Protein backbone atom coordinates (compact mmCIF):
# COMPACT_ATOMS: atom_id res chain seq x y z
CA UNK A 1 0.00 0.00 0.00
CA UNK A 2 1.39 3.39 -1.02
CA UNK A 3 1.48 6.28 1.42
CA UNK A 4 -0.27 9.19 -0.34
CA UNK A 5 2.00 11.83 1.22
CA UNK A 6 5.10 10.01 0.00
CA UNK A 7 3.53 9.73 -3.44
CA UNK A 8 2.67 13.44 -3.49
CA UNK A 9 6.25 14.37 -2.55
CA UNK A 10 7.58 12.05 -5.23
CA UNK A 11 5.25 13.65 -7.79
CA UNK A 12 6.86 17.03 -7.05
CA UNK A 13 9.82 15.75 -9.08
CA UNK A 14 7.55 16.00 -12.11
CA UNK A 15 5.55 19.10 -11.30
CA UNK A 16 8.32 21.31 -9.90
CA UNK A 17 11.50 19.94 -11.43
CA UNK A 18 10.70 18.87 -14.98
CA UNK A 19 8.40 20.46 -17.55
CA UNK A 20 7.84 23.80 -15.80
CA UNK A 21 11.24 23.91 -14.08
CA UNK A 22 13.86 26.60 -14.36
CA UNK A 23 17.36 26.57 -12.86
CA UNK A 24 17.78 28.24 -9.48
CA UNK A 25 20.93 28.99 -7.48
CA UNK A 26 20.57 29.90 -3.81
CA UNK A 27 23.22 31.26 -1.47
CA UNK A 28 22.89 31.01 2.31
CA UNK A 29 23.63 33.90 4.70
CA UNK A 30 27.06 32.37 5.40
CA UNK A 31 27.95 32.35 1.68
CA UNK A 32 27.41 28.65 0.91
CA UNK A 33 26.04 28.33 -2.61
CA UNK A 34 23.63 25.60 -3.63
CA UNK A 35 23.20 25.34 -7.35
CA UNK A 36 22.73 21.62 -7.65
CA UNK A 37 20.21 19.16 -6.33
CA UNK A 38 21.17 16.06 -4.41
CA UNK A 39 18.29 14.21 -6.10
CA UNK A 40 17.20 16.29 -9.08
CA UNK A 41 14.53 14.94 -11.39
CA UNK A 42 15.44 17.25 -14.28
CA UNK A 43 16.60 14.95 -17.10
CA UNK A 44 18.09 17.88 -19.03
CA UNK A 45 20.11 19.17 -16.08
CA UNK A 46 20.45 16.35 -13.52
CA UNK A 47 22.92 18.31 -11.34
CA UNK A 48 20.96 21.56 -11.33
CA UNK A 49 18.64 22.79 -8.59
CA UNK A 50 15.37 23.38 -10.40
CA UNK A 51 12.05 24.81 -9.35
CA UNK A 52 8.93 26.56 -10.50
CA UNK A 53 9.17 30.33 -10.89
CA UNK A 54 6.19 32.65 -11.11
CA UNK A 55 7.30 36.11 -12.19
CA UNK A 56 4.30 37.96 -10.75
CA UNK A 57 1.26 37.26 -8.62
CA UNK A 58 -2.09 38.78 -7.70
CA UNK A 59 -2.53 40.35 -4.28
CA UNK A 60 -5.22 42.45 -2.63
CA UNK A 61 -4.47 46.10 -1.86
CA UNK A 62 -5.30 46.38 1.87
CA UNK A 63 -6.34 50.05 1.52
CA UNK A 64 -8.74 49.69 -1.41
CA UNK A 65 -9.58 45.98 -1.53
CA UNK A 66 -8.68 45.93 -5.22
CA UNK A 67 -6.62 43.18 -6.76
CA UNK A 68 -3.18 44.28 -7.92
CA UNK A 69 -0.38 42.53 -9.77
CA UNK A 70 2.86 42.32 -7.80
CA UNK A 71 5.87 42.08 -10.13
CA UNK A 72 8.10 40.13 -7.74
CA UNK A 73 8.85 36.47 -8.36
CA UNK A 74 7.85 33.45 -6.29
CA UNK A 75 10.08 30.37 -6.36
CA UNK A 76 8.75 26.95 -5.34
CA UNK A 77 11.29 24.25 -4.52
CA UNK A 78 11.03 20.68 -3.34
CA UNK A 79 12.29 20.49 0.27
CA UNK A 80 14.08 17.20 -0.31
CA UNK A 81 16.15 18.80 -3.08
CA UNK A 82 17.67 21.34 -0.68
CA UNK A 83 20.81 20.77 1.36
CA UNK A 84 19.63 23.43 3.83
CA UNK A 85 16.17 24.95 4.01
CA UNK A 86 16.01 28.78 4.20
CA UNK A 87 14.18 30.04 7.27
CA UNK A 88 12.20 33.23 7.85
CA UNK A 89 14.40 36.13 8.93
CA UNK A 90 17.49 34.85 7.11
CA UNK A 91 18.91 36.70 4.11
CA UNK A 92 19.29 34.27 1.23
CA UNK A 93 20.18 35.23 -2.32
CA UNK A 94 18.29 33.52 -5.14
CA UNK A 95 19.67 33.72 -8.67
CA UNK A 96 16.93 33.03 -11.18
CA UNK A 97 16.56 33.53 -14.94
CA UNK A 98 15.23 37.00 -15.77
CA UNK A 99 12.82 35.44 -18.29
CA UNK A 100 11.19 31.99 -18.35
CA UNK A 101 14.01 30.34 -20.32
CA UNK A 102 16.62 27.87 -19.10
CA UNK A 103 19.32 29.80 -20.96
CA UNK A 104 18.34 33.30 -19.80
CA UNK A 105 20.75 35.39 -17.75
CA UNK A 106 20.30 34.84 -14.02
CA UNK A 107 19.76 37.87 -11.80
CA UNK A 108 19.93 38.08 -8.00
CA UNK A 109 16.89 38.39 -5.77
CA UNK A 110 16.60 38.10 -1.99
CA UNK A 111 13.90 36.62 0.20
CA UNK A 112 11.25 39.25 0.89
CA UNK A 113 11.68 40.26 4.54
CA UNK A 114 7.95 41.02 4.76
CA UNK A 115 6.86 37.53 3.66
CA UNK A 116 7.94 34.34 5.38
CA UNK A 117 8.51 31.30 3.21
CA UNK A 118 5.33 29.27 2.82
CA UNK A 119 6.21 25.82 4.02
CA UNK A 120 4.04 22.85 3.15
CA UNK A 121 5.31 20.00 5.30
CA UNK A 122 2.32 17.89 4.30
CA UNK A 123 3.49 17.53 0.71
CA UNK A 124 7.11 18.68 0.83
CA UNK A 125 7.55 21.93 -1.03
CA UNK A 126 8.43 25.42 0.07
CA UNK A 127 7.53 28.71 -1.61
CA UNK A 128 9.76 31.79 -1.41
CA UNK A 129 8.62 35.34 -2.12
CA UNK A 130 11.48 37.33 -3.60
CA UNK A 131 12.38 40.95 -4.11
CA UNK A 132 15.01 42.49 -6.36
CA UNK A 133 18.43 42.61 -4.74
CA UNK A 134 19.87 46.12 -4.50
CA UNK A 135 23.53 46.63 -5.31
CA UNK A 136 25.59 47.94 -2.41
Instruction: Output 31 or 124, whichever has higher pLDDT.
Output: 31
Q: Which domains, from first to last, does the chain contain?
A: 4-132 (2.40.10)
Residue predicted with more confidence, 48 or 32: 32
- Give per-residue burial for 16-45: e unless 16+ CB within 10 Å, then b: bbeeebbbbbbbeeeeeebebbeebbbeeb
pLDDT tens per residue, range 45-96: 656 788 999 999 999 999 999 999 999 999 999 888 888 889 888 999 999 9
pTM: 0.83
What's the mean per-residue pLDDT of the chain? Answer: 85
pLDDT, position 37: 63
Amino acid sequence: MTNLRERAESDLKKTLEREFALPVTITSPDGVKQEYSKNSADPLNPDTLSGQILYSYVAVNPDTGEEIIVNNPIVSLRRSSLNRVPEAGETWVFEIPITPSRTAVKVPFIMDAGRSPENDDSIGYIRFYLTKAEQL
